Every structure is written in structure tokens, then in C-alpha cells.
Structure 1
Amino acid sequence: MESFNEYHLNPQDFPFLNRFQDNWQVIRDEFTSFIKQASDEELKFTYDVLGPKSKTIKTKGNSKYSAFGILFQGLFIEEYIQFHQIKYSNYGTKEALETALELRNKYFSNLAKVIENVNLLDDNIIRNVYFGTFHPGLDIKLHVNYNPHMNRGYLGLIVPEGDVAMKICHEQLYWHQGEILILDHTYPHCPHNYTNYDRTVLVIDFFKPDQPREEVIRFEKEQVAQRMQDNPYSLGVFGKSDKAKAEDFIKYGLAHQLEWDKTL
């Protein structure tokens, strides 16, 4: 029987996530259809505009992490672009939001419907929804995601066999297709993919249900305002506070970190 603790949470405690899990194959098929059918121009736009960018989370070597999504801070991506009037070097703001809406409707209508249904029933509890792919050989440096108002769910979509895992505190946890892994990412963690295949999950950030909603909304607004000022292409997901402190390395990941640093 799987054990849970303060940073590895039991999915049964969050029944509103069942709708995502029940539709995992449909969501996976939308992702794979997009990757196979999208034009080069659509793919470039997606990773340029729809992918949250971090300035603080580092990877070892050339292997990378790629991500793109349709919901950020409770707003669909086109609404988010419009609300923050994000400016891009290759796209005007109006062009970016119109193209984002077009791609969402064309490729991810079922995922959007799941999000809408959950947020309608649970008072906009879902905040970020995006696809995250670990490419072969990925090794991410120990870090935190300083989002104390949220938990992060991972819905396994494409998970190869082998050593692709999340090291968090003193545990190594694994993703499984069709299942949701829920973590509190304020605890230091460092994921990796030592297989020869991509691993893709649907990342679902949601408000902690046991915290007063007014307080978490107020915190989110303040945090996002700062993050968007520092890096508008973070889409409010990442910030300077994600960098792990010295005590985090010592307490949770020193052995792995020393091994990581030797290869730099």
C-alpha cells in the first residue's frame, strides 16, 4: 500500500481531480495528435508563447524540459495574455492571444471542457494546467516552487519504463500512466529522466482546499504581479523565489547536489 506524508499527498483527498483522471486517455490523445499534426509554425508559436519560462531552474547538460499549456492562474491562456498585455518579440499581443485561442479550440477542446467543468463546480480551484515533457537524459537541479497556496498534481500521460522519477526530500517517487501524483512543491525536489524516451504529464496546479479562499487569491495576485514584473514569460508559474537555499541543499539534497555539481 502506498504511503503518503506532508509532501506526497493522497489523490483520494482531492476528488475534483477525478474528472482529469477519468479522461486521461482523451487528454493524452489530444497531446499526441497536436505533436503529430501541428505545423512547424504552430509548434514554434506554442513553445514561444504557451510555455511558462523559468530563469532560475537549471538543468545539467543539453537535455531540456519543455512545457506548454492552456490555463494559467485560473485564466485560459488567451485571457491571460490579454489581461497582462504580454508583449512578444515575434508576435503582437492581439495576434498572440488570437492564435492561442485558435490553437486551444483546434487541439485541446476536451481538456478545456474538463477544466471548465471542474472550476465551475469547485469555485475556480484549478489554477495552472500545462503539459510537461522530460526529454531523455534530463537532470534538474534541486529547487523549490514557492507556491505555498497550491499543490501540484501530475497526471501521467506518456511514462516510459525505467529511471524517470522525482526526488523530493528523502524519497524517490515515480509517475504512472493514467494516475495522478500529488506533491507539495514548496519542499525541495529534483526530477530526472535517465531513460531514452520522453516522459509527458499533465501538470495541474490547484488551490489548497484547506486554506481560506480569499487569502490564497490575495497571495496569488501579489505573487503573480511580482513574477510578471520580473519575467512576463513565466506566466506567473515560476519566480526568483524558486531557487533553493543553502539549508535546502543540506537538509534534503546534499548527496544528489554534490553529484550534480561534479558533472558541471
Structure 2
Amino acid sequence: MTSFNEYHLDPKQFPFLNSFEDNWQVIRDEFTYFINNASPDELKFTYDVLGPKSKTIKTKGNSKYSAFGILFQGIFIEEYIQLHQIKYPDYSPGDASEKALALREKYFSNLAKVIEKVNFSDDNIIRNVYFGTFHPGLDIKLHVNYNPHMNRGYLGLIVPEGDVAMKICHEQLYWHEGEFMVLDHSYPHCPHNYTDYDRTVLVVDFFKPNQPREEVIRFEQEQVAQRMQDNPYSLGVFGKSDRAKEEDFIKYGLAHQLEWDKAL
């Protein structure tokens, strides 16, 4: 039986995630259809524009992490680009917004419907939704995601057998297709994919339901403003505060030491 704690949370606490799980195969099929059928120009645009970029989260070696999505800070990507007037080297904000809308409607209409359904019934609780792929050999260095107002859910879409896992505190957690893993990412963590195949999940960030909504919205607005100023291509998802500090390494090492002592 899986055990849950302060950083590895029981998905059943968050019934609004059920709509994503109920449609996980449809969501997976939209992703695979896009990857297999999108034109080279569509793929380039997707990873240039729709993917949140980080300047602080580093990998060991040459293997990379790729991501792209359709919802950021509770707003569909085409509206988000216009709101922040993001300027890309090859696209104006208007052109990027138009292309993003066309891609969302062409390839991800079912995922968009699930998001709209949940946010309509649960007061815009879903903040970010994007696909995250770990390519073979990926090993991400220890980091935090300083989002104390949110939890992060990973819905398994394509999960190969073997050693592809999330190391957080003293635990090593595994993704499963069609199921959510929900974490508090303020704890230091470092995921990896030591298999020969891609692992893809749907990342779903959502407000912590037990925190006053006015407070979390105010914090999100302040945080996103700073992140967009530092790096507009982060789409407000990543920021300088995600870099692991000395105390994070100490916390991570101490968790392992305590678990080792308990085992002895």
C-alpha cells in the first residue's frame, strides 16, 4: 500500500483531478497524435513558444527535458501571450497568440474541455497544464519549485518499465499510467529517467485548497510578475527561487541519513 506524507500527497484529497484521470487515454492520444502528425514548423513553434523555459533547473549530462502546454497561471496560452505581450525572436505577440490558439484547437480540444470543466466548477483552481517528457538518460539536479501556494500533480501518460522515478527527501516514487502522483514541490527533489524510452506526464499545478483564495491569488500575481520580468519565456512557471540552496541540500541529506539510521 502506498504511504502518503507532507510532501507525497494522496490524490483522493483532490477530487477535481478525477476529470483528468477519467480522460487520461484521450489526453494521451492527443499528445501522441500531435507528436506523430504535427509538421516540422508546428513542432518548432510548440517548443519555442508553448514550452516553459527554466534558467535555474539543470541536468546532469546531455539528456534533456522537453515541455509544452496550453494553460499558464489559469489562462489559456494564447491569452497569456497577449496579456504579457511576450516578444519572441521569430514571432510578434499577436502572431504567436494566433498560432497558439490554432494549435490548441487543432490538437488539444479534449484537454481544453477538461480544464474548462474543472475550472468552471472549482473556481479556477487549475493554474498550469503542460506535457513534460523525460528523454532517455535524463538526470535532473537537486532543486526546489518555490510555489508554496500550489501543489503539482503528474498524470502518467507514457511510462516505460524500469528506473524512471522522482527522488524526493528519502523516497523514490514511481509514475503509473492513468494515475496522479501529487507532490509539494517546495521539498528538494531530483527526478531521473534511466530507461531507453521517453516518459511523458501531464503536469497539473493547482492551488492548495486549504489556503485562502485571495491570498494565493495575490502571491501568484506577485511571483509571476517577478518571474516574467526575469525570464518571460518561463511563462511564470519557473524562477530564480527554484535554485536549491544550501539548506535544501542539508534537508535532503538529513532525510536520507534519518532513513538510514532507522533502517539500522
Q: TM-score, normalised by structure 2?
A: 0.96
**Take 2:42 and 2:196, find their aligned partners in 1: how far apart are those partners?**
26
CA RMSD of aligned residues (A): 1.1
Aligned to 1:218, the other structure's residue is in SS state helix
CA distance in 2, matches of 1:93, 1:237: 19
Q: CA shift at 1:255, angstroms?
A: 11
Q: What corresponds to 2:169 in structure 1?
A: 169
CA distance in 2, matches of 1:229, 1:12: 36
Q: Distance in 2 between matches of 1:253 and 1:14?
A: 30
Give the Cα separation in 1 of the matches to 2:253 and 2:26. Answer: 37
Q: Tell me the residue number matched to 1:198.
A: 198
Tell whether the 8 Å contact from 1:129 to 1:204 is kept in structure 2 after alignment.
yes
Paired residues in the alignment total 256
Name the amino acid aligned to 1:119: N
- Is 1:180 matched up with 2:147? no
Name the structure 2 match of 1:85. Answer: 85
The superposition leaves residues 210-242 of structure 1 with CA deviations (integer Å, 9 ceiling, x where unpaired) of 000000000000000000000000000000000
Whether 1:113 and 2:110 are equivalent positions in the alignment is: no
State the distance in 1 between where 2:97 and 2:12 align.
36
Which runs of no fewer than 5 residues in structure 1 stay unpaired? Answer: 257-264
How far 1:250 sits from its partner (Å)? 2.1
Match of 1:235 in 2: 235
Residue 254 of structure 1, CA deviation: 8.0
TM-aligned CA deviation for residue 98 of structure 1:
0.1
Q: Which residue of 1 aligns with 2:247?
A: 247
Identity among equivalent pairs (%) = 86
TM-score, L = length of structure 1: 0.96
Query: Which string of whole-angstrom CA distances, capped at 9 and with x for unpartnered residues, describes residues 166-217 of structure 1?
Result: 0001100000000000000000000000000000000000000000000000
Q: Distance in 2 between matches of 1:174 and 1:154?
A: 11
* Other structure's SS at 1:181 match: strand
What residue number does 2:33 align with? 33
Aligned to 2:74: 74
Kindly indicate whether the alpha-carbon contact (under 8 Å) linking 1:142 and 1:253 is maintained by their aligned counterparts in 2: no
Contact 2:170 2:255 in 1 (8 A): no
Specify the alignment match of 1:96 in structure 2: 96
Query: What CA distance in whole angstroms lies between the structure 1 residues aligned with 2:239 and 2:3?
Result: 31
Note if 1:221 corresponds to 2:221.
yes
- Where in structure 2 are the equivalents of 1:123-142 lying within 5 Å? 123-142=123-142
Shift of 1:247: 1.5
Q: Which residue of 2 aligns with 1:260?
A: none
Q: Which ranges of structure 2 fall in alignment gaps of 5 or more residues? A: 257-264
1:60-117 CA distances to partner (integer Å, 9 max, x unpaired)?
1110000000000000000000000000001111100000000000000000000000
> Following the alignment from structure 1 to structure 2, what is the Cα–Cα distance between the partners of residues 52 and 247?
26
Please list, as runs of the form range in 1=range in 2, the aligned pairs for 1:136-151 lying within 5 A after superposition.
136-151=136-151
> Are 2:50 and 1:50 equivalent residues in the alignment?
yes
Tell me, in whole angstroms, the C-alpha distance in 2 between the residues paired with 1:11 and 1:255. Answer: 23
8 Å contact kept, 2:169–2:255:
no
